[in-house]
């Protein structure tokens, strides 16, 4: 059954419910390993992210896997999502605002809400934007995640396309810095242990049903690898300087491919995109890292 404007209005009017959550240092350490940190076991700067006796730094984009709650959301909270075609869904964009550096472990308060539903047309699909706000247990803000999902089969419900997020514009000059991030063929297996068990990324049969010759890497793993590259190349591994990290996903990545991160810095903004070395294909575009 297709969605309706009544569904949209009802969903957008729902007040977010704050639920208790949390994570341990095992979660933040595993994430750093999953995006490629610690491959050189003698790299002192990366050891601060993957070995608790060396430091307690947390990769900012770990926020994408540290937002689970200890109890399920109310059934009605996903009212509109139940009527959308997940088989034709793509992860379009990911945004992150960092209010305070992430601690290695924390008890949290998590709330989710749908912020927009945009109609691109009957043959062009629909966009759904959502926001996850995470606080520490004492109420102090930690980070806010923003997501855009593209539902290819759900356009034409009578809504508007006005107000959808506008992608960041990259500079036209040559990159100021380039960093190659080699992938591992088993990387999706490791990243899945961070919480995303979608079999599309590990089961060859399901990948073929979805139109891929082999399982593809999680988009959010590539997102984390881009953050790793920016930290390494532009911020001397100082994660406390990172205040925001936004991207648009533009192509799937195959496990083992080398992701070449091209970066430009203008004042407090580091623009970036990610190109696949083996196929000369851009997989992440319109990247924007805000620093302080």
Tell me which residues are annotated as active site.
196, 201
d(CA 61, CA 58): 9
CA atoms lying within 13 Å on the CB side of residue 38? 17
Q: Which residues lie across from 136 on neighbouring strands?
A: 108
Spell out the SS3 assignment of the chain: CCCCHHHHHHHHHCCCCCEEEEECHHHHHHHHHHCCCCCCCCCHHHHHHHCCCCCCCCCHHHHHHCCCECCCCCHHHHCCHHHCCHHHEEEEEEEEEECCCCCCCEEEEEEEEEEEEEEEECCCEEEEEEEEEEEECCCCEEEEEEEEEEECCCCCCCCCCCCCCCCCCCCCCCCCEEEEECCCCCHHHHHHCCCCCCHHHCCHHHHHHCCCCCCCCCHHHHHHHHHHHHHHHHCCCCHHHEEEEEEEECCCCCCCCCEEEEEEEECCEEEEEEEECCCCEEEEEEEEEEEC
What are 203's two structure tokens?
Answer: 């089961």
Structure tokens at 205: 């049969």
């Amino acid at each position: 059954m297709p969605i309706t404007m009544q569904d949209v209005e009802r969903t957008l009017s729902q007040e977010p419910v704050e639920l208790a959550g949390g994570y341990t240092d095992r979660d933040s350490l595993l994430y750093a390993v999953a995006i490629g940190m610690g491959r050189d076991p003698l790299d002192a700067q990366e050891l601060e992210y993957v070995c608790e006796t060396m430091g307690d730094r947390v990769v900012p984009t770990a926020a994408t896997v540290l937002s689970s709650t200890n109890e399920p959301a109310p059934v009605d909270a996903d009212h509109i999502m139940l009527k959308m075609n997940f088989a034709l869904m793509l992860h379009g964009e990911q945004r992150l605002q960092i209010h305070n550096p992430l601690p290695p472990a924390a008890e949290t308060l998590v709330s989710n809400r749908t912020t927009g539903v945009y109609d691109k047309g009957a043959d062009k699909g629909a966009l759904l934007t959502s926001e996850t706000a995470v606080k520490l247990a004492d109420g102090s803000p930690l980070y806010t995640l923003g997501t855009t999902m593209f539902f290819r089969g759900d356009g034409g419900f009578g809504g508007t396309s006005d107000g959808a997020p506008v992608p960041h514009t990259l500079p036209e000059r040559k990159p100021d810095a380039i960093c190659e991030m080699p992938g591992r063929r088993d990387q999706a297996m490791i990243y899945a242990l961070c919480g995303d068990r979608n079999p599309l990324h590990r089961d060859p049969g399901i990948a073929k049903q979805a139109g891929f010759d082999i399982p593809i890497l999680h988009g959010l793993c590539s997102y984390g690898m881009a953050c790793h590259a920016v930290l390494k190349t532009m911020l001397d591994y100082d994660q406390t300087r990172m205040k925001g990290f936004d991207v648009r996903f533009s192509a799937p990545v195959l496990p083992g491919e080398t992701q070449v991160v091209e970066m430009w810095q203008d004042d407090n903004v580091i623009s970036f995109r990610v190109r696949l070395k083996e196929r000369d294909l851009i997989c992440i575009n319109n990247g924007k890292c805000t620093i302080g």
